[in-house]
Amino acid sequence: TRDQVHNFAAGPSPLPTTCLEEASLGLLNYEDTGMGICELSHRGKEFKAVIEGAEADLRTLLGVPKNYTILFSQGGGTGQFSAVVLNLLAAHRLSHPVPAEQFQPPVLDYVLTGSWSSKAYAEAQRLCTPPFPNCPGFGQPRIAASTKSTSWTRLPTREEYKFSQDAAYVYYCENETINGIEFPPKQEDEGAFPFDLVPEGVEVVADYSSSFISRPIPNFSRHAIIYAGAQKNLGPSGVTVLIVRNDLLVDTTEASKLGCIPPVPITYEYKILADNGSLYNTPPTFPIYVSALVLKHLIKNKGGLEGLEKTNKEKAELLYNTLEDAEKKGKARLVVREKNARSWMNVTFNIEGEGEEKKFLEGAEKRGFRQLKGHRSVGGIRASIYNAVTMESVQLLCEYINEFCK
Ligand code: PMP
C-alpha cells in the first residue's frame, strides 16, 4: 500500500495523499455535480473557479508581484526551452524596430550547470540556426559560463561568468534535477546566482522546474520569466506554470512583421495565453485541478513557503550529513563536491565498491524505498526529496544508509 513505501522519484514524484484522496472523489463527482472534473467544460463556472483559485493561491504562496502574470501552459519544461527563445526574441525585436537590413540577431546568454540547462541551450541553437544561406539567423546563443569541464559537480565562480552587454536575456536553471546542483538561496552565499553581474536591461530567465515552491525565489523581480513543469512539487505532469513580467507579453505576429524573426506557434505565445486567461485552447484540466488542491494544502497545512523552506532545509541537511558520514567511512561519495551547490531537492551520490550500489538498491527496495536509481545518463543513486516526501521517510532512508555502512 501507499503507507508501506517511501517514494523518492525525481519526477513525476509523490503528491500529498490527502490531495490525491480528494482528487479521486472529484474525478468521479466534482462538488456534487454528478460529473467528474475531467468531464466538465473548461469554460464552465466550476473549472473557472478551479483555475482562478490556483492562480490566486500561487500568487499568495510565492508572493508574485502585481506586474507579473501567471500562466498555465502545456508542453512541459522542454516546451519552454523553445517558447522562451521565440517570445523573448519577439519582445527584443519590438524594442528594436529598425529596418530588417539593419537588424542584428541578439546574443542569448546561457549559464550551463548541468543536463537541463545544456538541453535548453541546444534548443536555442537549433531554433536560431539560419534557415537559408546568407540569413543572419534569429539569435546568437552563447555560453556565459559552464561547469561541464568539471562534470557538473560545482557551480561557476563569479570570475567565470562572462555576460554580454547587449544580450536579449540570460538563462539559468535554478536546480539541475539530474546532477543535483542548485544555486544557494541567499545572495551572500558562495556560488549564488550573480544577479549583480548581469548587465542592466538584460532580461533574466529561470527554469525552476524541480525547485518550484520549495523555498522563496531570490531576487524575484529581477526575473523576466520563471517557469516550472508541475510534476515535482506542484501536481501531475501535463501542466507547466509560467510567471511572465507583463511587458513581455508581446504580440509576436506584430514582431514578425518587422522582419527577421518568425511568429511564435500560437499555443506558445505568452500574450495569447494571457489574453485568454490560459484558456485559449483546452487546458490540461485534471493536472490544474490537482495542482489547485496541492496549493491549498501547502498554504493551509504546511506553513506556506516559509514552512516548506524550513522543512526542506532540515530534510536536506539530515540526508547530506548522513552521506558525509558515509563518505568518511569510505562507503559513499556525494556527486556535488561544493556544499553550497548541493540541491535541497535531488540528492545525488554513489555507493563505493564493486557491486555495492546494486546491493544498496536491492536492500532499499526490500525496505520500501522506491525510485532511488540515478538518471539513466549518469547512473548512481538519486534521492529526490520534494515537498511531499516526509521527514519520516528521509529519517528512515538515513537509518538504512547508516545500517548499510556497517
Ligand atoms: N527542466 C528541469 C530542471 C527538469 O527537471 C525537467 C524534467 N525533469 C525539464 C526541464 C523538462 O521538463 P519536461 O519533461 O516537463 O519537458
Q: Quick one: pLDDT at residue 134?
A: 80
Q: Which helix (H) or strand (E) holds 319?
A: helix 304-328
DSSP 231-249: TTTTSSTT-EEEEEEGGG-
Q: Is 116 labeled as catalytic in the residue annotation? A: yes
- Which residues of the chain are in CATH 3.90.1150.10 domains? 305-405
- Across the range 167-179, mean pLDDT stands at 98
Strands 346-351 and 381-384: antiparallel
Q: Does residue 135 surpass a pLDDT of 90?
A: no
Query: What three-state secondary structure class fits 401?
Result: helix
Identify the bridge partners of residue 242 per DSSP, sorted by sequence position: 71, 227
What band does 144 get if pLDDT is binned at 50, 70 and 90? very high
Long-range contacts of 196-202 (CB under 8 A, 24+ apart): 197/158, 197/161, 197/163, 198/163, 198/170, 198/222, 199/163, 199/164, 199/165, 199/166, 199/167, 202/109, 202/163, 202/164, 202/165, 202/166, 202/167, 202/168, 202/169, 202/170
- Across the range 328-357, mean pLDDT stands at 97
Among candidate residues 354, 360, 353, the one with its CA nearest the CA of residue 382: 360
**105 ligand 1 Cβ < 6 A:** no
- Across the range 302-317, mean pLDDT stands at 97
**11 ligand 1 Cβ < 6 A:** yes
Distance 78 CA to ligand 1 centre (A): 6
Segment 8-19, tens digit of pLDDT: 999 999 999 999
Instruction: Name the residue at shortest CA distance from atom 3 of ligand 1.
Output: 209
DSSP 346-363: EEEEEE-STTHHHHHHHH
Q: Quick one: pLDDT at residue 136?
A: 82
Q: Does residue 115 surpass a pLDDT of 90?
A: yes
Instruction: Name the residue at shortest CA distance from atom 10 of ligand 1.
Output: 77
- Across the range 81-103, mean pLDDT stands at 96
23 Cβ contact partners less than 8 Å away, ≥ 6 residues apart: 37, 286, 289, 290, 293
What angle separates helix 285-301 from helix 17-28, to the nearest 10 degrees?
140
Q: Which helix (H) or strand (E) holds 370?
A: strand 369-370
How far apart (Å, rounded) are the C-alpha atoms in residues 192 and 211? Answer: 15
Distance 104 CA to ligand 1 centre (A): 31
Q: Which atom of ligand 1 is nearest to the CA of 75?
A: 16
Q: Does residue 343 surpass a pLDDT of 90?
A: yes
Determine the residue of 116, 182, 375 to mutate for testing ligand 1's pocket, defined as the one with the most ligand atoms within 8 A of the Cβ atom.
Answer: 116
**Grid cell locating 399:** 537509518
**Grid cell locating 177:** 534535477
Distance 181 CA to ligand 1 centre (A): 14
Q: Which atom of ligand 1 is nearest to the CA of 80?
A: 16
Distance 30 CA to ligand 1 centre (A): 30
Question: What's the DSSP call for residue 154?
Answer: S
Q: Quick one: pLDDT at residue 137?
A: 84
Q: Does residue 130 surpass a pLDDT of 90?
A: no
Whether 205 and 171 have beta carbons less than 8 Å apart is answered as: yes
- Across the range 107-119, mean pLDDT stands at 98
- Across the range 337-365, mean pLDDT stands at 97
What band does 305 get if pLDDT is binned at 50, 70 and 90? very high
Q: Quick one: pLDDT at residue 125?
A: 96
Instruction: Name the residue at shortest CA distance from atom 7 of ligand 1.
Output: 77
**78 ligand 1 Cβ < 6 A:** yes
Q: State the architecture of 305-405 in CATH terms.
A: Alpha-Beta Complex (3.90)
Distance 169 CA to ligand 1 centre (A): 20
Instruction: Name the residue at shortest CA distance from atom 12 of ligand 1.
Output: 77
Whether 308 and 214 have beta carbons less than 8 Å apart is answered as: yes
Tell me which of 109, 116, 152, 344 is the catalytic residue.
116
- Which residues of the chain are in CATH 3.40.640.10 domains? 45-297
In CATH, the number for domain 45-297 is 3.40.640.10
Q: Quick one: pLDDT at residue 131?
A: 82
Distance 287 CA to ligand 1 centre (A): 16
- Across the range 299-307, mean pLDDT stands at 97
Query: What three-state secondary structure class fits 3?
Result: helix
Strands 68-73 and 6-7: unpaired
Q: What is the mean pLDDT of the chain?
A: 97
pLDDT greater at residue 167 or residue 134:
167
